Amino acid sequence: MLLAASAAVGAILGALFGAPWWGVGLALALFLARQLRYLAALRAWAEQPKQVELPEPGGVWGEVFSALLDLQRRNRKRKKRLAATLAQFQSSAQAMPDGVLILGELGEIAWFNTVAQSLLGLRGRQDLGQRVGNLLRHPDFAAYWDRHEFDGSVEIPSPSDRRGMLSLRIIPYGDNQRLLLVRDISELHRLERVRRDFVANASHELRTPLTVLRGYLEMMAPDATDGGVLSEWKTPIAEMQSQASRMEALLRDLLKLARLESPGEGPAPEVLDVAKLLQQVVADARGLSAARHDFDLQADPDLLLSGRQTEVESIFSNLVGNAVQYTPTGGSIRVRWSRTAEGGASFEVQDTGIGIPADEIPRLTERFYRVDEGRSRASGGTGLGLSIVRHALERLEGQLKIQSTPGQGSSFRCEFPARRVASRPSNTATA
Ligand code: ADP
């Protein structure tokens, strides 16, 4: 429109001077010069929007420029809002009592707060972009990172304080981003060690006087039973002997628990022939049952488990022993060792015993927790068996699943992950 109007005006003015085409040419040249001026202004603004101001012509250019200025204003506002949100996030993360790090897909550090800096001994800006695995070189953290299942946390010694202990937890979010939370658990760890050492030392110290008492009781027992001078003491001496045995069993279980709770203690894990181990465990249980129960053992002979023998044995013998203990005469006990659908392994003991009420099940693995106090004591139970099972299972990365119906029986099932399980090489299976 504007172009046609300019050409027409040019033609009329040119006609006044007798040269209409020159008039049209001149008008078009002026029109083009105007367009180029605005185009140049637009280019200069696009290159340096902060320094250059756009002119304010009318018409189409005016509309284009005001639309662009509007867009710029909106963008600035959004940027400000984002910056405010980011500042708010950073100041709240900064105020957290725990260390926080933002990590990229490969573990490269994008941001961290000052607590994380002091807990992990980071050097400030220099460590941005570094992979967290290069700074935290503990094998437990490497295994946790590689597992890609971040539902739990991992505890490692502090890299900046020789006696400190840190708990690390990864929380995945967004597009392969990760948040690493670092908590200082040194004090908790120290108290836990003090408690553990106290129980272990007390149990150890109590053993010696108890051995002396038992020795004297053993010396006195024959005289009491054979009608000697101590014959009146027959019942009290027998009772003292049985109580001394209970105390010994308690001390033995407490020491076992203390050992299980000490991280990294004990011999190195080995690959265990579970089927063979179970034959022994079931043979012992038959002895305990004295033909009161029917046993059925089915164990996959090629399915091996990596762990410490004493720990695996204590899981098996506690669970099978409990089945014997809490199943009345004539009941049956089924023991299974088999592969799971996920490639792991499962150990299951099923009995037709007295069962456990559903609301008691979650508390069974607590220390000294008994469903029926009198019955457990009478059967010589310490109340520590299932705690030992739970701790030993934790060391083996296993999980305990309990199902039970009062009056019908119970099933105790231990599930081990695939990384703990091995298959017997085929040449030895036939040997
Ligand atoms: P205890 O030494 O008393 O057997 P445990 O820790 O082994 O201690 O077991 C805790 C409690 O769980 C027991 O006192 C018993 O009440 C219950 N319990 C364990 N196993 C069974 C089972 N197979 N059937 C019924 N109750 C059981």
**pLDDT class for 323, splitting at 50, 70, 90?**
very high
The closest of 284, 277, 333, 280 to 304, measured between CA atoms, is: 277
The closest of 153, 104, 164, 111 to 133, measured between CA atoms, is: 104
At 254-307, the pLDDT tens digits run 999 988 887 766 678 899 999 999 999 999 999 999 999 999 999 999 999 999
The closest of 292, 291, 289 to 281, measured between CA atoms, is: 289
- Helix, strand, coil percentages for the chain (3-state, nearest 5): 55, 20, 25
Residue nearest to atom 4 of ligand 1 (CA): 381
Tokens of residue 322, six digits: 């409990």
Question: Cα dist. 233→210, 212, 228, 266, 378 in Å?
Answer: 20, 19, 10, 44, 22
Coil vs helix vs strand at 103: strand
The closest of 365, 359, 335, 357 to 408, measured between CA atoms, is: 357
23 Cα: distance to centroid of ligand 1 (angstroms): 110
Q: Within a 10 A sphere around the Cβ of 405, how many other Cβ atoms?
A: 12
Write down the pLDDT at residue 176. 85
Residues in the chain: 431
Residue nearest to atom 13 of ligand 1 (CA): 370
Write down the pLDDT at residue 218. 93
State the average pLDDT over residues 124-138.
89
**pLDDT class for 431, splitting at 50, 70, 90?**
very low
Is the distance from the beta carbon of residue 360 to the nearest atom of ligand 1 less than 6 Å?
A: no
Q: What angle do CA 414, 321, 348 make, to 5 degrees?
A: 25
Q: Which of 86-90, 132-136, 373-377 has the lowest mean pLDDT?
A: 373-377
Longest dimension (CA), the chain: 157
State the average pLDDT over residues 86-105.
88
Write down the pLDDT at residue 205. 94
Write down the pLDDT at residue 428. 53
198 Cα: distance to centroid of ligand 1 (angstroms): 26
Residue nearest to atom 11 of ligand 1 (CA): 370
Instruction: With 0.85 as the threshold, say if the pTM is over it.
Output: no
Q: What is the DSSP string of 330-369?
A: T-EEEEEEEE-TTS-EEEEEEE-SS---GGGGGGTTSTT-
Q: What is the DSSP string of 380-431?
A: T--S-HHHHHHHHHHHTT-EEEEEEETTTEEEEEEEE-GGGEEE--HHHHH-
> Which ranges in 149-273 belong to alpha helices (H)?
186-225, 234-261
Q: Which atom of ligand 1 is nearest to the CA of 376?
A: 3
57 Cα: distance to centroid of ligand 1 (angstroms): 90
Q: What angle do CA 323, 256, 292 make, to 5 degrees?
A: 20
At 47-88, the pLDDT tens digits run 888 888 878 877 888 888 889 889 989 999 999 999 999 888
Coil vs helix vs strand at 94: helix
